[in-house]
Structure 1
Amino acid sequence: MTTSASKLSAYDKITIDAPASAVWARIRNFDALKDWLPPVAECPADKGNAPGSVRRIKLHGGGEVDETLLSHDEAGMQYSYSAADGGALPVTGYQSTVRVSPQGQQALVEWRGEFYRADRGENPAADKNDETATGAIQGIYKGGLAALKNLVEG
């Protein structure tokens, strides 16, 4: 088991057979997560796409997490956010960026994040180690991007 408190990361990407502008239109709003990430039941954002906006994510079946919009770049088709510690994510210090890039007539969607595992002590419980924390975030990215592809491509 890893006992270091080093920052962990997760990354996933997917190519969607649609123009980047069409894909960005689906995910650009900070409160649109419920429209393409299956576990999310609701996610109202108190200030829309303005930096500092807080979205309270409520998951189907229970669990919540608050996320704060750090930046929103309409022209660059990306936004970055951070998550409050605690809540439904098994990590702390979480920061993430979602970006859409044109690839000819297709769109490349990238989702990346950095974080620490929730338990940074020596000998963490099996459900709170580096691999579990990274796997949980990676699973969210993979499932979310696959659902977005399905939604956009029909």
Structure 2
Amino acid sequence: MTARVLTTLLLSFAVGTAVAANGSATGSKSAPTLTVNDSVTIGAAPDIVWSTVRDYDAPSVWDPSITSTTLTHGKNNSPGARRHMTTDEGATIDDTLTAWNAHKREFATRTIHPALPVRHYRQRIRVEPTRSGTRLLWQASFQAAPDTDPAKARKAVKHRIHRALIHVKHMLGTNNNPSAAPSAPSDKTADNSGL
């Protein structure tokens, strides 16, 4: 093998390795995964909070950003179900239920068509008992949409989540007996894989 052929092979290998590592010959990298974790403490028993947020086909009951919801596939509160939602700004969101667990009082979704400037959006909502009532948690992970500043994408998601959590807190207030011992929900527990 001549030195010229060997040099050509080594250069080809080096370029191929750089492309594989960076995603393209220009060195662009995939967008980083962003997260938003927010929660509120509510002066109501966990079962009351769970009964407010648990129904996959009725987020408009507690999320002021959602004005209408249609279940488009599957059965309510069953992993694999899909819904089509309309927001208060006229945008639409389609997502799928990836996990729902009544015993743990939590569910998770994956968005197919988001209204926000994000992609690969996943969220989990969980209800936990506390000494003074309930903690409602909302965790989200996502990437900024192409040509969107990650800080702006994260701010938009955080605003939407915080607005919904505060709305639930105001809805339920402190007039519901938070000192009642939490009981196991009577709902049948669905497959919780994916949580």
Greater displacement, 89-98 / 41-50 = 41-50
- Residue of 142, 148, 170 corresponding to 1:115: 142
Percent identity, please: 26
Whole-angstrom CA distance in 2 between matches of 1:44 and 1:4:
33
CA distance, structure 1, for counterparts of residue 157 and residue 34 of structure 2 = 10
Aligned to 1:149: 169
Select which of 128, 131, 137 maps to 2:151.
131
Letter in 2 for 1:98: I
**For each residue in 1:103-135, what CA deviation from the matched residue of structure 2 results, as whole angstroms up to 9, or x when unmatched?**
02400000011000011xxxx3xxx11011101
Say whether residues 1:92 and 2:112 are aligned partners. Answer: no
Equivalent residue for 2:68, pick from 36, 42, 54 = 42
Taking structure 1 as the reference length, the TM-score comes to: 0.88
Return structure 1 stretches of 4+ with deviation > 3 angstroms.
none
TM-score w.r.t. structure 2 length? 0.70
Structure-2 separation of matches of 1:49 and 1:5: 32
- How many aligned positions are there? 144
Is the contact between residue 26 and residue 32 of structure 1 (CA under 8 Å) also seen in structure 2? no
| Distance (Å, rounded) in 2 between the aligned partners of 1:5 and 1:54 | 26
1:56 aligns with 2:84: yes
Letter of the aligned partner of 1:140 in structure 2?
A: R
> Unaligned stretches of 5+ in structure 1?
none
Residue 20 (structure 1) aligns with: 46
Give 1:5 deviation, angstroms: 1.2
1:37 Cα offset (Å): 1.0
Q: Pick the structure with more strand per residue.
A: 1
Gaps (5+ residues) in structure 2?
Answer: 1-28, 176-195
- Deviation track 1:10-58 (CA, whole Å, cap 9, x = no partner) reads 1100000001110000011102210111121111224211101111110
Structure with the bigger RCO (C-alpha within 8 Å, sep 6+) is 1
Larger Rg: 2
